[in-house]
């Protein structure tokens, strides 16, 4: 069922993003007096097709992993002399620029609308309270202490853990000090200078909190199993949702964190667990499998904790009216766009490992997880993916919208178009780059599995 939900979720997400992107091209092309021959969502054989009064064919094709808008263009075939004024290649360069930019712009508009809806609905956030601080860690040397609320990082407000993580991820590669402001339980503000050196460079995946040496504050979690992954060591050993782990190898266990520590330290070693299930005690043997994480081998059994009850004092509701939500939506879209552009730049310069690239498998898994996590998570993921699609399409790579935009800007400056030979050569380079990028993303997807 999980795989099916992931497939459905990714089809919905990608279908919506592609439709919005192509509609941007279509809508502006129509307004510029260009004849649109076909608007297709998906590639391959059309499943549904209809033609409107303008002669545009709208199709839903069999392969839902892309889409396109085909316009009348003399470069793709002969055009009747009476219709040449409707051809894309005959339009003024500014009109062609508008058509190209409209697709990515539509994705940014979708992100703004999605965030606007999310902020009006309101989100329940966990207050970013510092938990355990590791001795002699950067956090400890900067003076962070258990129970302090993080209110800003590098001057950026952090009302929740999402804000903290985004602010820290933006500092990948930093050396020197990170300025982190906190508030204690008496309301006193304090600014900390946390030392860093090439912060999170080439980490896969980036783990900002553990790199600084502290964990988020969490309420005590009982060692009760909330979920068990299929075909995992936990499932193979007989663990079920609702089981309470009472002892491991004869030693009592009262907290989930203690259970996690035992499992992580026991890769490949059988663990005898005394489990309370439906009023009776049973004994199971679980052998955690070994997993590599940041160069360290840890044990993994494939089970998650049950639901956690957070005290009201550690929760806050973030919501705005229509006007305030719109301001927040523009702010969040700008922030995520900047973060995406920055991440691409750092990946090119080697500060971020290319293994962080995500392909269709990871997108499907995250889409499914966010759909199961609720409306807020799904909308947030949809908005971020839409921003990523908009940014990627604006990269100056031939075959992408950004590549065409470069050609048209050169034409605008020079007063004549780039030669067909140069464009054809650029197209071959662009196809090779995109194909290589897709193969890399797919490879890293497989490695994550």
pLDDT surpasses 70 at 118: yes
Q: Which of 82-86, 128-132, 269-273, 296-300 shows the lowest mean pLDDT across its residues?
A: 296-300
Contact 261, 301 (CB under 8 A): no
pLDDT at residue 294 in the model: 59
pLDDT at residue 449 in the model: 61
Q: Give the mean model confidence (pLDDT) for residues 189-206.
A: 89
Instruction: Determine how many CB atoms are found less than 10 A away from the CB of residue 4.
Output: 9
Residue 281, class by beta-carbon neighbours within 10 Å (0-12 exposed, 13-18 middle, 19+ buried)? exposed
Q: Give the mean model confidence (pLDDT) for residues 250-279.
A: 90
pLDDT band, very low/low/confident/very high, at 1 (cuts 50, 70, 90): very low
Q: Where are the domains of the chain?
A: 111-122+319-449, 130-216, 225-307
Contact 303, 286 (CB under 8 A): no
Active site residue 74: no
pLDDT band, very low/low/confident/very high, at 214 (cuts 50, 70, 90): very high
pLDDT band, very low/low/confident/very high, at 448 (cuts 50, 70, 90): low
pLDDT at residue 310 in the model: 81
Judge whether 130-216 and 225-307 match in fold.
yes
Q: Give the mean model confidence (pLDDT) for residues 13-22.
A: 88
Domain 130-216: assigned CATH number = 2.30.42.10
Q: Which residues pair with 332 in a beta bridge?
A: none
The whole model's pTM is what? 0.80
pLDDT band, very low/low/confident/very high, at 98 (cuts 50, 70, 90): very high
pLDDT surpasses 80 at 351: yes
Which CATH code, of 3.30.420.40, 2.40.50.140, 3.40.50.2300, 2.30.42.10, is assigned to 225-307?
Answer: 2.30.42.10
pLDDT surpasses 80 at 356: no
Q: What is the DSSP string of 185-210?
A: TT--EEEEEEEESSTTTT-SS--HHH
Instruction: Determine how many CB atoms are found less than 10 A away from the CB of residue 375.
Output: 13
Q: What is the DSSP string of 284-348?
A: EEE-PEEEEETTEEEEE--EEE------GGGEEEE---HHHHHHHHHHHHHHHHHHHHHHHHHHH
CA–CA dist 318, 305 (Å, integer) = 26
Give the model confidence (pLDDT) of 419-429 as tens digits.
888 888 888 99
Which of 22, 57, 251, 272 does the annotation list as catalytic? 22
Q: Give the mean model confidence (pLDDT) for residues 341-347.
A: 88
pLDDT surpasses 80 at 324: yes
pLDDT surpasses 50 at 82: yes
More confident residue, 77 or 174: 174
Distant-in-sequence contacts of 180-183, Cβ < 8 A, 24+ apart: 180/142, 180/144, 180/150, 180/152, 180/153, 181/150, 181/151, 181/152, 181/153, 182/130, 182/144, 182/148, 182/149, 182/150, 182/151, 183/148, 183/149, 183/151
Percent residues over pLDDT 70 in the chain: 96
Average pLDDT, the chain: 88
pLDDT surpasses 60 at 24: yes
């Amino acid at each position: 069922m999980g795989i099916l939900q992931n497939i459905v979720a990714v089809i919905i997400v990608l279908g919506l993003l592609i439709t919005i992107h192509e509609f941007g091209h279509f809508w502006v092309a129509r307004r510029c007096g260009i004849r649109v021959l076909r608007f297709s969502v998906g590639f391959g054989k059309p499943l549904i097709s209809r033609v409107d009064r303008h002669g545009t064919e709208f199709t839903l094709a069999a392969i839902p992993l892309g889409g396109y808008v085909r316009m009348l263009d003399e470069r793709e075939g002969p055009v009747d002399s009476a219709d040449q004024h409707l051809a894309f290649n005959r339009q003024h360069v500014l009109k062609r620029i508008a058509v190209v930019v409209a697709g990515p712009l539509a994705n940014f508009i979708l992100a703004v609308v999605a965030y606007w809806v999310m902020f009006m609905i309101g989100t329940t956030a966990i207050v970013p309270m510092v938990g355990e601080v590791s001795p002699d860690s950067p956090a400890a040397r900067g003076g962070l202490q258990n129970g302090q609320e993080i209110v800003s990082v590098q001057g950026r407000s952090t009302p929740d853990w999402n804000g903290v993580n985004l602010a820290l991820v933006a500092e990948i590669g930093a050396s020197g000090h990170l300025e982190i402001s906190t508030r204690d339980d008496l309301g006193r503000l304090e600014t900390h200078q946390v030392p860093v050196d090439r912060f999170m460079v080439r980490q896969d995946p980036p783990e900002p909190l553990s790199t600084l040496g502290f964990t988020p504050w969490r309420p005590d979690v009982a060692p009760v199993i909330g979920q068990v992954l299929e075909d995992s060591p936990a499932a193979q050993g007989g663990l079920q949702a609702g089981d309470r782990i009472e002892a491991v190898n004869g030693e009592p266990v009262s907290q989930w964190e203690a259970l996690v520590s035992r499992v992580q330290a026991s890769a490949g070693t059988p663990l005898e667990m005394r489990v309370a299930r439906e009023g009776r005690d049973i004994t199971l043997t679980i052998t955690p499998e070994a997993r590599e994480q940041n160069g360290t081998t840890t044990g993994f059994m494939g089970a998650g904790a049950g639901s956690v009850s957070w005290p009201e004092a550690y929760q806050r509701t973030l919501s705005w009216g229509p006007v305030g939500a719109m301001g927040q939506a523009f702010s969040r879209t700008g922030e995520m766009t900047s973060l995406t552009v920055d991440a691409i730049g750092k990946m090119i310069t080697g500060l971020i490992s290319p293994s962080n690239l995500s392909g269709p498998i990871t997108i499907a898994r995250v889409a499914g997880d966010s759909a199961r996590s609720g409306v807020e998570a799904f909308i947030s993921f949809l908005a971020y993916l839409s921003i990523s699609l908009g940014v990627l399409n604006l990269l100056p790579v031939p075959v992408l919208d950004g590549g065409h935009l470069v050609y048209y800007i050169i034409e605008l400056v020079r007063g004549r178009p780039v030669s067909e030979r140069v464009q054809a050569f650029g197209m071959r380079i662009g196809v090779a780059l995109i194909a290589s990028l897709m193969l890399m993303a797919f490879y890293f997807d497989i490695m994550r599995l």
